[in-house]
Amino acid sequence: MNVASGQGLSASEVATRIADGRTNAFVQDTSRSVRSIIRANVLTLFNGIILACFLVLFAIGRWQDALFGFSAIANAVIGSVQEYRAKRALDRLALLNAPTARVVRDSGEAEIDVAQVVMDDLLVLRAGDQVPADAIVVGSGGLQLDESMLTGESDAVDKVQGDRVLSGSVVVGGEGTATVDRVGAESFANSLAAEAKRFSLVASELRSSIDRVLKWVSWIIGPVTLLVLNAQMAALGGWDQALSTGAWRDAATASIASVVAMVPLGLVLMTSITFAVGAVKLGRQQVLVQELPAVEGLARVDMICLDKTGTLTQGDIVFDEAHLLTAAPGWERVLAWYGRQNDANATARSLASRFTTPPDELALGRVPFSSDRKWSAVVFADGMWVLGGPEMVFPAQRFTGPRYTHLAAQATDLAATGRRTLILARGTPTGDETVPADAVPVVLLTFRENIRPDAADTLSFFAAQEVSVRIISGDNPQTVAAIARDVGLDDALGFDARDFPDDDGEFLRTLNEHVVFGRVTPDQKRRIVVALKSAGQTVAMTGDGVNDALAIKEADIGVAMNSGSAATKAVARLVLLDNRFSHLPSVVAEGRQVIANIERVSMLFLTKTAYATFLAITFGLLLLPFPFLPRQLSVTDGLTIGIPAFFLALLPNAQRYVPGFLRRSLTFAIPAGAAVTLGLGCYAFLAAEQGIPEPEIRSGSTLILTIVGLWILIVLSRPVTRFKGLVIGTMMIGLVVIYSLSVTRDFLQLVDPTMPTAVLVLGASLTSIGLIEVVRFVHRRLARRDAGRVAVQSTAK
């Protein structure tokens, strides 16, 4: 039939619709403006504090003490760049990949841009076309559409007059015409895109924990600053004298030193750098990290939801086996003929890989495939060959007897294994579109989806890591269950999503009782993810179709195949560029390294925040001069915390993730900070009592902080490997050089300690070190107890 015989719209009718705005043009809103990204990363409270301190030091001529400003700049730049990358990925989200559409206008066929399609246009659909807008079929010649990217159903869908076709689906067989009834933002593909593209950042325990610390510090930084400033002014003879003599500059510098030391800027920067390095390493393994904290996120996942098509399977149909029923010469050549037809669907095309020699003669007649009868036929000299579903070619009410009963039972058994079945039969040509009454089943054909070779091993890895799995698909539940059993889920039974209960509690109970779900709609996929998250689980979702986009967006970590739709890749946190599911264990390992190492270096930075806060409060209450200049803290912190933390954060570390990162970090940092404060406070008080000059007190305080800081570095590096020893040794040498060179000593305003100062420095250092060893001993016991409790909880689940 000529399905493109309609008149279509006239030029004036098209112009009217364009003037009314009823076109397929769709301008996607920006997910997040560049201005808002920069504002979020630059105009923060702490950047404001750092900038204010930076400007004050420049204004009073103390630029040497403003080194901390570079860390704040680096934080803002890295954060802005990463969020801008996420924004660009979302803005590029597009479901329609076809650049043109085929329409009938003024009784002639024309190719136009997808954006120029208007309401009521008559679309011409042929094999390979992507549907540009939602439409209603008005003519069909065996029209079949692949809607797997939209619905998850991998079987081709037959379309007849009156059926709806959705934008984004692909014509895989036959041809047809359809009248457009929804365009632009109202079409299915674009409405789904609009919902999926809402901007959001991946949940990160590291980032949220650090943000919480920054929030806590923000509440106390103002009062502490005033407390320190008042103490410095009092130590200089009072406010009036300090203001009249200009000594207030020294008080302001000391106050800024206390404020800057309290802010763990280095921890924020180190976390960003560690994420970035992890992303680069995964990039070399063909894993694109679209948002850096996703590297950490997958290491925390305890539930992974998998779409079948494109994840466990490669999304294509492959010929499985031919089960010969009746000796009939020439059946292989007939199947080769079927596999080479231009209008062959995916199932028929798979025959060409096994059957390569078609008949020498031309076909004498043909019955095209019909979605109503579910079979097609071809006539050669030796008879009429019929190919179709066993139950449609040989319906029980027409064909009776042991032969047909056995065929039905065998087809049912094979279908239960997840394979699709077709029957090839031969009989006398009928001359019409009916199966010959004397048709004999010749061969039963089975087909299967091509399972990814790495799927079973990857699922075994997650099982060993105590990560639960849920397989959710738009396909038949039994088919999905059979594939699940093929990849190692031995007891998998399919649950039909059409039977999901409405009650949320019952719904969650169903999710806990079953592993495989079929006939799942896109909204149900999202509901599954939301329900699992509400139950306290960290959920990853993998997929490749548009039907997966909403669930992937909602999941804690979304993983997309590069072969999938643009929408799915745009909203995913991770994209497997070579479509290899087996990369996920590498991502988990990288995430564990990030978490374990950041937890270690966070103890360094949070210990500094703790002792800086305690020192500021202590010296403020005792009205003692703050014992550091900002430049002294910048250099010592860099060599005992910042630089070694960079190397420690990049070391291999396969430690299992245990929830409670911030609590464990603070249970070490706070008491360790108190130990440092006790040693420094006692030293400063005793030194002031003995009348030791202020420059010498500062030099002694800097030396104590250097010694104790190096010891904390050694404690947190245990066990000290050769590489860690090299890093620690290098830092020691660097500190010796700084204390030895006159240039650096003058810059840092360091003076040689007298004997009383040296004795106090040694005593204070040993006191702090002894207390830190006690803290570390208790902390390790608490960490082991947490790990044991989590292991017990995991086993209970």
According to the model, what pLDDT value does residue 324 have?
92
Give the E-state strand segments of 309-414 in sequence order. 313-324, 365-367, 375-380, 383-388
- Classify strands 539-543 and 303-307 as parallel, antiparallel or unpaired: parallel
Whole-prediction pTM value? 0.64
Residues 590, 580: Cα–Cα separation, whole Å: 17
According to the model, what pLDDT value does residue 94 have?
39
The DSSP call for residue 582 is G
* 166 phi/psi in degrees, rounded to 5: -105, 140
The DSSP call for residue 398 is T
- Domains of the chain with bracketed CATH: 11-27+95-196 (2.70.150.10), 205-280+589-796 (1.20.1110.10), 287-312+453-579 (3.40.50.1000), 314-451 (3.40.1110.10)
Residues 239, 246: Cα–Cα separation, whole Å: 10
For residue 797, pLDDT over 90 is answered with no
Kindly report which listed range (8-17, 73-82, 457-466, 656-665) carries the lowest average pLDDT score. Answer: 73-82
Residue type, 79: G
Number of neighbours of residue 245 by Cβ within 10 angstroms: 11
Q: Which tens digit of pLDDT belongs to each residue from 52-66?
A: 777 777 777 776 666
* 494 phi/psi in degrees, rounded to 5: -80, 140
Q: Characterize 404-434 residue by residue with b for buried, 16 or more Cβ atoms within 10 angstroms of its Cβ, and e for exposed.
A: beebeebbeebbebbbbbbbbbbbeebeeee
According to the model, what pLDDT value does residue 511 have?
93
Averaged pLDDT, 108-118: 86
Catalytic site residues?
A: 307
Kindly report which listed range (99-103, 115-119, 350-354, 504-508) carries the lowest average pLDDT score. Answer: 99-103
Could you tell me which residue, 428 or 268, shows the higher pLDDT? 428
Distances (CA, A) of 690 to 509, 604, 757: 72, 32, 10
Kindly report which listed range (76-90, 159-173, 400-414) carries the lowest average pLDDT score. Answer: 76-90
Q: Which tens digit of pLDDT belongs to each residue from 514-565?
A: 999 987 887 888 899 999 999 988 899 988 766 677 788 888 888 888 777 6
For residue 75, pLDDT over 70 is answered with no
- Length, in residues, of the chain: 797
Residues 473, 516: Cα–Cα separation, whole Å: 8
For residue 72, pLDDT over 60 is answered with yes
Could you tell me which residue, 96 or 544, shows the higher pLDDT? 544
According to the model, what pLDDT value does residue 98 have?
43
Measuring CA to CA, which residue among 527, 523, 520 is closest to residue 498?
A: 520
On whether the CB atoms of residues 127 and 141 are closer than 8 A, the answer is: no
Measuring CA to CA, which residue among 556, 552, 580 is closest to residue 568?
A: 552
